Amino acid sequence: MDVLVAGGHGQIARRLERLLVQHGHTARGLIRNPDHAKDLEADGALPVLCDLERDDVRPHVRGADALVFAAGAGPGSGDARKRTLDLGGAVKCIEAAQELGVDRFLMVSSMGTRDIPDDGPMKPYLEAKRDADLALTDSGLRWTIVRPGPLTNEPGSGMVELAPVLGRWGNIPRDDVALVLYQCLFAENTVHGTFELLSGAEPVESAVLSFTNR
């Protein structure tokens, strides 16, 4: 499988790319900083230079079997970049996938997008992520929306809880988010599924394979 990962030098993205490479797949990581190329090459991934807020992504989407949106403007980036990257970059990838017939699309979204506070520092970010999710659900693509809770760099446990609505908060290591994304690429039952994701008590593979939208 040839997988294009938007935000290819991101922390989740690199973990996912390494998993893909370990399992014999082609991982192409879309990056905007040429200095990041050597890190992807060391992971066995193929760096693709493209700034999602400036450049045409279509030449790179062409030929992919799946696209994973794992880019993010990040904390401290300002409200405007939530619209240009977290929303605008995602929409650019969705439209390119539609135009070029790349129908499998995974979105790294976020917990909290279902119930956005009236104000506060997270509002612009959560609104951008929610709007990107809505664009994807309206796209006609074979999408999966993964909404992790707050991310940590603890080693992955391989144990998660996922459901459309979890009704609790917690954390999740980036290792485990990457593993869930990897499994979703091969799990037909996650197509047209949206789920929240936290550390839990079920192995990733069985949690993904037993997911239903109900």
Contacts (CB under 6 A) with ligand NAP, residues 140-199? 148, 150-151, 174
Distance between CA atoms of residues 42 and 11, nearest Å? 15
- Residue 155 near residue 117, CB atoms below 8 Å: no
Distance between CA atoms of residues 38 and 201, nearest Å? 37
Total residues interacting with ligand NAP, rule: CB under 6 A: 25
Question: Residue 188, exposed/middle/buried by CB under 10 A (0-12, 13-18, 19+)?
Answer: exposed
Select 8 or 141, whichever has its Cβ closest to ligand NAP.
8
Tally helices (H) and strands (E) across the chain.
Answer: 8, 11
- Least distance in Å: CB of 92 to ligand NAP? 9
Select 8 or 102, whichever has its Cβ closest to ligand NAP.
8
Q: Which of 151, 178, 171 has the alpha carbon at shortest distance from 16?
A: 178
- Residue 165 near residue 195, CB atoms below 8 Å: no
- Least distance in Å: CB of 52 to ligand NAP? 3
Task: Sketch the per residue contact string, 10 through 49, with ligand NAP: x for CB under 6 A, - otherwise.
Answer: xxxx----------------x-xx----------------
Q: Which of 125, 182, 195, 211 is catalytic?
A: 125
Select 141 or 145, whichever has its Cβ closest to ligand NAP.
145
Select 47 or 89, whichever has its Cβ closest to ligand NAP.
89
| Token couple for 143 | 């999408």
Select 71 or 145, whichever has its Cβ closest to ligand NAP.
71
| Token couple for 9 | 């030098």
Q: Closest residue (Cβ) to ligand NAP?
A: 72
For residue 94, state whether it binds ligand NAP (rule: CB under 6 A). Answer: no
Interface residue with ligand NAP, options 44, 59, 63, 74 (CB under 6 A): 74
Question: Which of the stretches 19-27, 41-49, 64-72, 159-167 binds ligand NAP when contact is defined by CB under 6 A?
Answer: 64-72
Instruction: Quickly list H helices, the chain.
Output: 11-22, 37-43, 58-61, 79-81, 88-100, 123-137, 174-184, 204-209
Active site residue 182: no
H-helix or E-strand spanning residue 159: strand 159-163
The residue ranges that bind ligand NAP (CB under 6 A) are: 7, 9-13, 30, 32-33, 51-53, 70-74, 85, 89, 108, 110, 148, 150-151, 174
Catalytic residue numbers read: 125
